[in-house]
Amino acid sequence: MALPAEGDALFPAPPSLARGAHVPSLAAYRERYRRSLEEPQEFWGDIAKEFYWRTQPSGSFLKYNFDVTKGPIFIEWMKGATTNICYNLLDRNVNEKKLGDKIAFYWEGNEPGDSTVISYSELLHQVCQFANVLRAQGVKKGDRVSIYMPMIVELVVAMLACARIGALHSIVFAGFSAESLCERILDSNCSLLITADAFYRGDKLINLKQIADEALQKCRDKDAPLRTCIVVKHLGREALVSGGRCGKSPPLKRLCQDVPTPWDAGVDRWWHELVKDASKECEPEWCDAEDELFVLYTSGSTGKPKGVVHTVGGYMIFTAATFKYVFDHHPEDVYWCTADIGWITGHSYLTYGPLANGATSVLFEGLPIYPDVSRMWSIVDKYQVTKFYTAPTAIRLLMKFGDEPVKKHSRKSLKVLGTVGEPINPEAWLWYYRVVGEERCPIVDTFWQTETGGHVLTPLPAATPMKPGSATFPFFGVVPAILDECGEELEGEAEGYLVFKQPWPGIMRTVYGNHERFETTYFKKFPGYYVTGDGCKRDKDGYYWITGRIDDMLNVSGHLLSTAEVESALVGHASVAEAAVVSHPHPVKGECLYCFVTLRDGHEFTKALRDELRNQVREKIGPIATPDYIQHAPGLPKTRSGKIMRRILRQIAKNDRELGDTSTVADPAVISQLFQQRCEAAE
Ligand code: WTA
C-alpha cells in the first residue's frame, strides 16, 4: 500500500459524525480552544458547574508557578472548593441524573462466556459498603492504600471506596513482581493492601495472593509491616454465587477452582466476609479540590519509580472533559478501553472519565489473542461497542494475523477508534483505519502521560482532519511549544523538545514524598516550562508529531533521527510485524542504527530480506538513516504494559551483559535468545 507523504495525507473527519457532535468542526474546535486560553476561569468554570461542590469554587481559580528560578513549582486549581469525586461519579449520576439502572460496566472475563454486569446503583452500593469496611479497618483521609488486583469489578470498587473516604489509592499493575510491589508499598508507606486469590491471564494461572505475600514479607524484612491485607475471592468465587456460573452447562473451563490461598489469620481478611454486614450507605469525605486523590508509579530515568500524585478537583474536571470531547461521548455509547487499570489510561479512561460522564463501559479481564486472535472483535460485537480505545502494540500484534480474524466479525457498531501509549506508525494507523474501522471511524491518536493526567495533544473525532501518525493539535487549555537545545521556542515547522507553557487542570502536582524530584525531572531543564521528555515536530500545517522519547533520539553524523521514524519505515515492509531501533556507537558517524525486527507469521529472515529492509529505510527516510545492523528478533523485551525496553536492546547491540534492572521485563527469556542470535546481525 502506497503511503501518502507526510502533510498530504489528510483524512477528513467523517461528516456523519458531525451531526450531534460536541465539537462538530475544526472551526468549532478553534473557537473553543481560543476561549479556553483567553477565558480559562469561565471555560473550566463551566465544566466544573456540571459537578457537585460542597463549597463552590471561588476566589482565584488557578494559581501556579512553572519557573524554578522564581521559587517552588506549584499548581492549584480551585483551591478552597470542596467536593468528593466518588460522589460525583456515583451518587450524582444515580440520584440527580437518574442513571441508577444504567449499566456502568459490562465485565467480560478471561474465559469467553464468563461475564457479569453492574449498574450505577449497584456500583454505588458496593463502593459504600467497601468504604465502610475501609473506615472500620482504620483507614482515614490522607492514608495510602495499595491495590494489586486483576481486572475485576472489585478493583473499581476498591479505588472508588478509597476516593470516597479521602484515602489515596496506589494501584500496582498485577503483572508487577513482588519486589516492585514491595518497593511501591514502602515508598508511599501504605497501611493496607487489597488483592485477590488468583486469576488467569490467557491460559496462565497467576497466584496473585502468593506474590502479594512475598511482597509483604519483603516489607516486613524492611521493618515496615502492613497491618491488613484484604483478599477478593475471584477464582474461587463460584462457591459464593448462588446458582454460580459453575452450575451452567457446559461448565466454563477453569472457573471452578479454589486455588490454595496462603493465609495469615493475623493479617488477611476475605473481602466477601468484611462487606457482608457493611452498610450500603456511607457519607463521603468532603475534600479540598487540591487534596491528593491517588499515587501512581511510573518509571524514572534513575531506575527508581516516581509516585505521580494527582489531586481531586482538577483531575476530575480534566478527565471528564477529555473523555467527553475526545471520544465524543453520548449517553447511548458503549465504550471499551482495553488498558489495564494498573496504568494511568485505566485510571483516567476506564474509571474516572467514563463514570464522570455516566458512561457504559466494557471491563475486560483477558488478553487480545486468547482464546483466539479474533477475541477483541467478538467482544465488540457482543456488547455493540461504539468507541474503542487501545494501544499501537495491540494493533500491531493483531495486524500480524491478517484481516480475516477481524473481518469475520461485523464491527458495525464502531464509531470512533482511539490509540495511546507510543507513536503509532502510519502502517498500523492505516490498518486500524481501513480494516478495523472500515474507513468509517476516525482515529483519535491521543498523546499524553501519567503525569498529564489526561489527553494533551489529540484529534477530536468529528472536527480534526487526521494525518496517520500525528497526535494533531492541543486539547483545550493546553499550550504546547517546541524548544531547541538552548531552550529557545521554535516557530512554524520545527523539531525539538516538546514542552507545555502553562498548567491544565489534570497535570500532576508532585512526586510523592519528593517534591524536589518533581521540580528536577520536569521543570529544571527549561525554566518556565513543563518538559515532557518527548521529541516532537510540527509540520507546515501546525500538526504535532511525537517522535519518541528524547532518549530514543539518535544523532547519526550530526543528523538528529528518531528511532520511531526508522521503526515505522521497517514496519512498512510487508514481512515485518514489529521493529525496535536503538542507537549504537560508530567510530565515524558517532552513532548508527541497530535494528531488531520481528517478522510476520510465515516469513523467513534471509540476507535478501535484510537488504530489502535496509533499502526500505533508505528510501523512506534517506541514506543517512541506512541501518548498519538488522537483527532478527523472534520476541522483543517489553514491559508488561507493552513498551519496548530499548535500554536493554542497546546493551544487546553492544554485547554488554550489564543490563541493570530487568525486573520489569515481561518475558526475560527473549533477552538470552537475542544475545545468542546477536552475531547474525552483522553482515
Ligand atoms: C508515549 C501513557 C506518541 C510518550 C498515557 C509519553 C505517545 C509516554 C502517545 C507516556 C501517542 C503516549 N503518541 N507517543 N499518542 N501516547 N506516548 O506515562 O513517549 O505510560 O511520554 O502514559 O508514552 O507514557 P505513560
* Per-residue three-class SS string for 531-550: EEEEEEEECCCCCEEEEEEH
State the DSSP H helix or E strand holding residue 213, giving kind and residue range, or none if neither: helix 208-221
Residue 74, burial from CB neighbour count under 10 angstroms (0-12, 13-18, 19+): middle
Q: How far is the CA of 151 from the centre of ligand 1 (A)?
A: 22
The domains of the chain are located at 82-473+489-495, 557-682
CATH for the stretch 557-682: 3.30.300.30
**Tens digit of pLDDT for each residue in 461-495?**
999 999 999 999 999 999 999 999 889 999 999 99
CA–centroid distance, 423 to ligand 1, in Å, is 7
pLDDT tens per residue across span 433-467: 999 999 999 999 999 999 999 999 999 999 999 99
> Given the CA of residue 641, which atom of ligand 1 is nearest to it?
20
All residues at 6 or more sequence positions from 344 whose CB lies less than 8 Å from its CB, including other chains: 296, 298, 308, 449, 450, 453
pTM of the model: 0.85
Q: What is the mean pLDDT of the chain?
A: 91
Question: Average pLDDT of 193-203?
Answer: 95
Q: For residues 246 and 82, which has the higher predicted lDDT (pLDDT)?
A: 82
* Per-residue confidence band for 237, with pLDDT thresholds at 50, 70 and 90: confident
- Return the minimum-mean-pLDDT range out of 293-297, 375-379, 485-489: 485-489
Which value, in Å, is the radius of gyration of the alpha carbons in the chain? 24
* Best mutation site among 419, 449, 499 for ligand 1 pocket (most ligand atoms within 8 Å of CB): 449
pLDDT of 21 higher than 60: yes
Nearest CA to ligand 1 atom 3: 423
Per-residue pLDDT band for 683 (boundaries 50, 70, 90) equals very low
Cα of 181 from ligand 1 centre, angstroms: 23
Give distance in angstroms: CA of 486 to centre of ligand 1.
Answer: 24
Q: In this structure, what C-alpha cell is assigned to residue 41?
A: 476561569
* Residue 12 grid cell: 477528513
Annotation: CATH topology of 82-473+489-495:
Rossmann fold (3.40.50)
Backbone torsion region of residue 513, taken as left when φ is above 0, otherwise alpha when ψ lies between -120 and 50, otherwise beta: left
Ligand 1: which residues within 6 Å by Cβ?
298, 343-345, 420-423, 445-450, 471, 532-534, 546, 549
